[in-house]
Structure 1
Amino acid sequence: MTTVTPMMAQYLEIKAQYPDALLFYRMGDFYEMFFDDAVAASEALDIALTKRGKHDGDDIPMCGVPVHAAEGYLLTLIRKGFRVAVGEQLESPEEAKKRGSKSVVKRDVVRLVTPGTLTEDSLLEARRHNYLAALGSVRDDFALSWCDISTGAFHVMPLSRARIGAELARLAPSELLLSEKVEDTLREVLDDLGLEPTVLGAASFDSGAATGRLCTLFGVQELTAFGDFGRPELSAMGALVDYLDITQKGRLPLLRPPRAEAVSRLMQIDAATRRNLELTSSLQGGRAGSLLSVIDRTVTSGGARLLERRVSSPSRELPVIRERLEAVQWGVSSSGSDALRDALRRVPDVDRALSRLGLDRGGPRDLAAVRNALAQAEALSGRLEGEELPDLLTRSRADLGGFDDLLGLLDAALIAEPPLMVRDGGFVAPGYDEALDQARTLRDEGRGVIARMQGEYSAETGIGSLKIKHNNVLGYFIEVTATHADKMHALSERFIHRQTTANQVRFTTVDLSDLETRILNAGNEALEIEKRLYEALKTAILEQAPGLSTLALALSEFDLTLGLAELARQRDWCAPQVDDSRAFAIDAGRHPVVEAALQASGAPFIANDCGLSAEGDAAAVTLLTGPNMAGKSTYLRQNALIALLAQMGSFVPARAAHIGIVSQIFSRVGASDDLARGRSTFMVEMVETAAILNQADARALVILDEIGRGTATYDGLSIAWATLEHLHEVNRVRGLFATHYHEMTVLAGKLKGVKNATVAVKEWEGDVIFLHEVREGAADRSYGVQVAQLAGLPKAVIARARDVLEALEKGEREKAAPMALIDDLPLFSAASQRDVPKAVSRETSEVEERLAALHPDEMTPREAMDALYALKGLLK
């Protein structure tokens, strides 16, 4: 029979409850891990793996991290896909010993740390949401619910199966909850988004139980005040609340009442289009190079998160769009915007401070964050006094007030810069609480008494180096060096021996012990009073949490508005005209990200117009031809981004813009394979094209680049041809269709809504110069050989390519078999010699002979000039 120590038995019992998580088992000042957890954690954290005792005859692997540095290690583990159960000591060792000398300190898991349930600033990105999402389903009906427990945001949306991938791409949740029955059916969607879900049992998604969970969370009898929710929505929201109850061990976060969203109110953008347009992250995966990174001028964390929401979810509601644009227009013309932005720079993250206070993970600095935010809100409101604001900002200004009493309380109670932890003490301002002031006086004067007592004892003994010190074991004690030990022992009636070390001897006195008791009691009393005051201040804040959340949103609205106004002024962006028509007219439009990159290098961006306005429900498609590298993809993307920016409520990079509401944006630009799922580049292209043709409606904006290029020429041409016809005749979209198939330009004469445009280039001495100008008309050729030459292909290859191209074009003109003409061409031989460097020939040219005979160091300037003209003449 295996003998297990009481401590290890406790560990194994707790670990059995959390088999899928690493258990941080608190032992004093460390979190220890054992067995497989220790092996996995030591590798993930790059820390030493040791051992402690034996189990079943084998050594027990062990590793640990200091409690004070645990957050950094937690962040690393979470980012590497681990979940962590934090097991704390629920009593002190002294309390445990009261139950028996061998009793083990009570421990239990107080929190399960997962990617979607983080609240600490050190574990989160301040300028991004951290969403936990749950997908509920009842038969074939679905709903998605998501929350950010660090800010209190809580949303729900019914949706079809076809929209699941697009909405998950929009939200980019850190963690997704699914029921066991749904996981397998969505495996392809999850793999495409790189999501590994957390699978819960069916009971978590029970829509009947969900009502009770939600009513308990919000303290209501029924949910009708929040909306009319169907069973799928209740299922998704109930699963979220159940999971939070599990991970937070019953301490639920401060979530705002659920806000119902509808797909019809937002511009729909699928996952592939989000990637192609690089809205919130670039194709390389980072924030740099994305649209969000280029347009972000916000100065608060809340404003940055609001901007990310707007970029990810442009509106389709005309009144909402116009309100936002009016607000930005006010910001552009306001003379006091700089002063307002200065006030906003000092606004802390109220939402996350509230969240930590609600989960009892906060501290004095969170109290101060609320105080400072209220102070800046008051200052901001004062600066706006007398201003005539647009409707959106008028409502936001109204939400800034009403907290005078709370601000007065926090101002009086807190020092300017409080410590991080309550246990550190010292955060309550002098004069706020009389009992606290008295305890502090005794504690602080006691330190002065200790100093005076040290002087008296030094004079009494004649030992100048005598010190009174303190540690947690002995308390206060008198310390002298070992050389003075005999003198102190001679005074044993007065000085009582406590301890001898290698170099020091320690004593105490009756007076010192009495003083220590008084000082310690005063210090502990002061700390206990501060703890009670902290709880009272926290309660006062949480009682006004709903209003404080509204204030935080108002501050974010001002920050975002002024940030977009600053962007418009800096970049010379214009106010778009957005209406309910099917207009799409861009005058001198630019790509915001490419323009920013070019400006950084001092190069200009060539602006271009775009006209896709359509009558009634007819299509309007521009067929764009021109060489690679000429800027077709940039042109396609910039017009999609201009529509998106306009409908999120921003000015746009153009001289003028008139945009009728766009319901969907679809983008098929760029090529990549998906080898993990057995998909070639062409297969990925066809899957994405199929999604567009099956989903695009008459208000969609579609941008397509090089459809059909991944297969044989005639196959590709036929697919591209049929795709354009379908977009025109069936989908009836507004769109840009870039292609190298020049044969398709004839469709402009056959389809009423199709017109040709080309990206202009100029040939110069065999090279091609890109002008980056989009003009009406069709390109006569692709200039592929010239682009290949610019890319650095060997000259022999370029020469051979020109010969083959000429043969193919001749065969096309003469209706001859092209391969027969190519077969007649000598392979990399004399036919290509005109473009091959002379160095490959065994004969030396006359120019080279004359050049080799020249000695520049011995020539006069006149002789050098004559020689140069002579060489030039030989070339002719």
Structure 2
Amino acid sequence: MSAGTITPMMAQYLEIKSGYPDALLFYRMGDFYELFFDDAVAAAEALDIALTKRGKHDGADIPMCGVPVHAAEGYLLTLIRKGFRVAVGEQLETPAEAKKRGHKSVVKRDVVRLVTPGTLTEESLLEARRHNYLAAFAEVRDDHAMAWVDISTGAFHVMTLPLVRLGPELARLAPSELLVADGKEAEHRELEAEFNLALTPLARASFDSTGAEDRICKLFSVSSLDAFGNFTRAEISAMGALIEYLDMTQKGKLPLLRKPVKEAEARTVQIDAATRRNLELTHALTGGRAGTLLSVMDRTVTASGARLLERRISSPSRVLETVHARLDAVDFAYDNTRMSQDIRDHLRSVPDLERALSRLALDRGGPRDLAALRNGLAQAAQLNETLTQAKLPDLLRKAVDNLSGHDDLVALLEEALIAEPPLLVRDGGFIATGFREELDEVRVLRDEGRSVVAAMQKQFVADTGISSLKIKHNNVLGYFIDVTATHADKMLSPPLSDTFIHRQTTANQVRFTTVELSELETKILNAGNHAVELEKRLYASLRDAILEKAGEIGATSAALAEIDLACALAELARSENWVKPIVDNSRAFDIQGGRHPVVERALAQQSGAPFVANDCNLSADSDAAIWLLTGPNMAGKSTYLRQNALMALIAQMGSYVPARAAHIGLVSQLFSRVGASDDLARGRSTFMVEMVETAAILNQADDRALVILDEIGRGTATYDGLSIAWATLEHLHDVNRARALFATHYHEMTALAGKLDGVDNATVTVKEWEGEVIFLHEVKKGAADRSYGVQVAQLAGLPDAVIARARVVLEALEQGEREGGATQKTLIDDLPLFSTTPAPPPAPPRSSAVDDLMQTILPDELTPREALDLIYKLKEAAKE
């Protein structure tokens, strides 16, 4: 069709679409959302659904695809994960209502919501145990700030943030979407790939701090922000931009946000993006949650408790009072095992109050969200009764105090709702019988119309004395009273004629009605719709009653999460033999029998082998605050480094630690340079990545930092690498004065222990047996005597000829180094690199008397006496 003959429906579609050029438009058509033109092509490919066509535009077929409304959430999630934004266009009236405006009137439609990665609220689109943050980064002159919000829980935070700290904070929060001022997206484009987020430009006016302040005040109904704290212009700008974006995407239905909380960098341990990645705190290097510290520590039984655990792991505290309060809470749960188990059993059935409340506030909830709040608040009250008399530490006492105060609301919801409501309001049937008399009457008419009519007929028979009187129904008259012609005179005469109104006379019958019967007919015909409308009104009133208590409900949800986490960490400590750490303001770092929690779990699951625990003492009163760790590859150096970094983090998040004993002076920063790979997107080699990360450590680490470094300088020439590693260690010792573990293969560096007072040597022990190396995984003071690289290569399965050749080359090089006379080039020239004589075959394994004796044993045929005799024979053979 030409532009001039475009259909009204397509004209409406194009008009709506013009307002959302960067989003896919889900255009509601009855029971389907349909997409047209380029949107249809893109969606069909992304969703792997059929692409068809409908009509023509400018002479060309219009591509079209569609998804059912009832299954739309799954398709939305797929599109969001693939980087699309979706504008949801709904029908704002029924076809019947549209016809009242004219026979050919198009049903009114408009976008009711813009779905983006940071604005998801549906239960099926979110991970229950993780936050989904939307963040905004603002720049006002030389000041910078970031605000972030989870609209599914109402959490709202802001902090001043130097530009250099943007990356580390994004790594900590892992937001799904980041808002920046229009024109600034190019400066931050690399953040999209690095942190797997959607970068969304927003008009500069949205970041204007004056307008932003007005938006914040209007949202929270306050005249000024003074009640919330002192915010910088940049912080106000970031918060205002978030509110503007939410207003735009939610089409005026702003989520229920809590009052903004101002965070300070100085209150949490600073952990950069590389360190978070290397330590695999909440995301594994291979992707996903498995194999992370979070996966091992998560024993929570509520969704809000799991989200709190992730926040604690991501943001360990450096405020001593906070750490002690959290440890005291875990301590109480640890000491009161029975009570802790009862609490956990109780919490298992507590629903996610935060997200149910948020869905109700955005009008995306349903009867089940009402029931979730009813059940959750009732269980919170029961928990309050259980714990009120207990002698609780301060943190748990405050939590328990926030569990009560909802009796009236719970009573209202229990009276109003059935036990198991349906998912959607339009399904009806969720209001309990007896709650509203009007609704009960309508339901009776809807469900028991015939019995109601029969009861009325019985009453009319009694009033008239005509036993043959019937109430009947047809499509012309509707409900009517039918009597035979012989009773016509009686019905038409007073006093019955005052009640019974004549409607029709046939050959044998006379038909009447009454005002009461007409009203009943109207009620019966409309009962179904009326019941649904009544339930909708009651749902709205219950929702309003809940939202009036939103602040108190939010506090209750937070309290449940706090109690859940304390009990979960206690359960973890009991089952995994973790110990309460001593955390103070000293410079201590003394770990006895420390273990890597993730590796220990993996060993237990895969082979049942025990983890070899190790000590680490970097305290100020020890010999050294820096340990130079040597030993072969595969011996466990990297695991040892990581486990000690995790020890500080776990302690300062307020948990017991995987050790026999631990004394940790507050750590301000945690730095890890363990493992690296190419960064092809930025054109960086492995060595360049390593140097950038090392530079960040040396430029930022203070004297309360904990630094772990592994194999600095290995990505370049030997002498270059050695010199860089040497200078790095000296800088850590002389300038940063940090506590550190420094692993290296440069054995020359062990000499630094004799030159620097604060450096000591440690090594991971191995045992060599008949040319093979056995890893003992034990760390002790001292330096490794060699690298055992050839032995490790042999374990890896290199061909025997290669291993034999490597031994020849290694021996020649070591001989030259000992003699000190020949240059490396001369030695290499002297080696028969091009010799036609093949390397000698490896020597066959030597047999022993024990081996020979073992070959003759048939265990299934041994008697107990023969087995005992055999043990003595084996012992004698071993002596030989």
TM-score by length of structure 1 reads 0.87
Q: Distance in 2 between matches of 1:96 and 1:837?
A: 93
Q: Which residue of 2 aligns with 1:350?
A: 353
Listed as ranges, the matches of 1:747-826 within 5 Å are 747-815=752-820, 816-826=822-832
CA contact (8 A) 2:805 2:839 kept: no
Q: Which residue of 1 aligns with 2:458?
A: none
Give how far 1:137 is off: 0.7
- Which one-letter code corresponds to 1:84 in the other structure? V
Q: Distance in 1 between matches of 2:843 and 2:817?
A: 31
Q: Distance in 1 between matches of 2:188 and 2:176?
A: 17
Change (3 A) 1:47 1:392: same
CA contact (8 A) 2:624 2:760 kept: no
Listed as ranges, the matches of 1:323-722 within 5 Å are 323-334=325-336, 335-446=338-449, 518-600=523-605, 601-614=607-620, 620-722=625-727
SS of 2:431's partner is coil
Listed one character per residue, the Cα deviations across residues 197-235 of structure 1 (whole Å, up to 9, x for unaligned) are: 100111010001001100111111111100111100001
User: Cα RMSD over matched residues?
Assistant: 2.4
SS of 2:693's partner is helix
CA contact (8 A) 1:446 1:515 kept: no
Q: Distance in 2 between matches of 1:623 and 1:168?
A: 32
- Which one-letter code corresponds to 2:73 in the other structure? E
Q: Distance in 1 between matches of 2:533 and 2:98?
A: 22
Gaps of 5+ in 1: 453-467, 477-492, 495-511, 839-876
Give how far 1:818 is off: 2.1
SS of 1:649's partner is coil
Q: Distance in 2 between matches of 1:808 and 1:833?
A: 17
Q: Distance in 2 between matches of 1:575 and 1:297?
A: 17
- Which one-letter code corresponds to 1:425 in the other structure? G
Change (3 A) 1:262 1:784: same
- Which one-letter code corresponds to 1:698 in the other structure? D
SS of 1:184's partner is coil
Q: Which residue of 2 aligns with 1:207?
A: 209
Listed one character per residue, the Cα deviations across residues 352-410 of structure 1 (whole Å, up to 9, x for unaligned) are: 01101111111111110110011110111122132100000000000001111111111
Listed one character per residue, the Cα deviations across residues 810-835 of structure 1 (whole Å, up to 9, x for unaligned) are: 11111111222222222375886444
Give how far 1:519 is off: 2.9
SS of 1:412's partner is helix
CA contact (8 A) 1:825 1:831 kept: no
Change (3 A) 1:391 1:10: same
CA contact (8 A) 2:171 2:273 kept: yes
Q: Which residue of 1 aligns with 2:186?
A: 184
Q: Distance in 1 between matches of 2:125 and 2:246?
A: 18
SS of 2:776's partner is strand
Give how far 1:196 is off: 3.7
Give how far 1:71 is off: 0.6
Q: Using the TM superposition, name which of 442-451 and 411-420 deviates more.
A: 442-451
Change (3 A) 1:729 1:76: same
- Which one-letter code corresponds to 2:691 in the other structure? M
Q: Which residue of 2 aligns with 1:285?
A: 287
Percent same amino acid at aligned positions?
A: 73
Q: Which residue of 1 aligns with 2:849?
A: none
SS of 2:724's partner is helix
Give how far 1:433 is off: 1.2
Q: Distance in 2 between matches of 1:832 and 1:320?
A: 68
Change (3 A) 1:536 1:514: closer
- Which one-letter code corresponds to 1:428 in the other structure? I
Q: Distance in 1 between matches of 2:473 and 2:739?
A: 81
Q: Which residue of 1 aligns with 2:459?
A: none
SS of 2:783's partner is coil
CA contact (8 A) 1:803 1:832 kept: no
Q: Which residue of 1 aligns with 2:117?
A: 115
Q: Distance in 2 between matches of 1:701 and 1:190?
A: 29
Q: Using the TM superposition, name which of 184-193 and 365-374 deviates more.
A: 184-193
TM-score by length of structure 2 reads 0.87
The alignment covers a number of residue pairs equal to 788
Q: Distance in 1 between matches of 2:581 and 2:804?
A: 49
Listed as ranges, the matches of 1:288-327 within 5 Å are 288-327=290-329
Q: Distance in 1 between matches of 2:323 and 2:753?
A: 34
Q: Distance in 2 between matches of 1:691 and 1:750?
A: 26
Q: Which residue of 2 aligns with 1:504?
A: none
Q: Distance in 2 between matches of 1:57 and 1:139?
A: 53
Q: Distance in 1 between matches of 2:330 and 2:275?
A: 27
Listed one character per residue, the Cα deviations across residues 171-190 of structure 1 (whole Å, up to 9, x for unaligned) are: 00000000124323334444
Listed one character per residue, the Cα deviations across residues 316-352 of structure 1 (whole Å, up to 9, x for unaligned) are: 0000000000000000011211111011011100000
CA contact (8 A) 2:83 2:198 kept: no
Q: Distance in 2 between matches of 1:598 and 1:447?
A: 70
2:48 to 10, 34, 46: 46
Give how far 1:252 is off: 0.5
Listed one character per residue, the Cα deviations across residues 730-760 of structure 1 (whole Å, up to 9, x for unaligned) are: 1110000000000000000001100000000
CA contact (8 A) 1:807 1:818 kept: no
CA contact (8 A) 1:759 1:774 kept: yes
Q: Distance in 1 between matches of 2:824 and 2:681?
A: 38
Listed one character per residue, the Cα deviations across residues 398-453 of structure 1 (whole Å, up to 9, x for unaligned) are: 0001111111111111111001111111111111111111111222212668999x
Confirm whether residue 161 of structure 1 aligns to residue 163 of structure 2. yes
Listed one character per residue, the Cα deviations across residues 289-323 of structure 1 (whole Å, up to 9, x for unaligned) are: 00000000000000000000000000000000000
CA contact (8 A) 1:803 1:831 kept: no
Q: Distance in 2 between matches of 1:252 and 1:576?
A: 44
Give how far 1:169 is off: 0.6
SS of 1:182's partner is coil
CA contact (8 A) 1:53 1:60 kept: yes
Listed as ranges, the matches of 1:106-255 within 5 Å are 106-255=108-257
Q: Distance in 2 between matches of 1:447 and 1:401?
A: 47
2:34 to 26, 32, 35: 32
Give how far 1:524 is off: 2.1
Q: Distance in 2 between matches of 1:62 and 1:181?
A: 34
Change (3 A) 1:194 1:362: closer
Q: Which residue of 2 aligns with 1:21?
A: 23
CA contact (8 A) 1:587 1:608 kept: yes
Change (3 A) 1:514 1:186: closer
Q: Distance in 2 between matches of 1:514 and 1:60?
A: 51
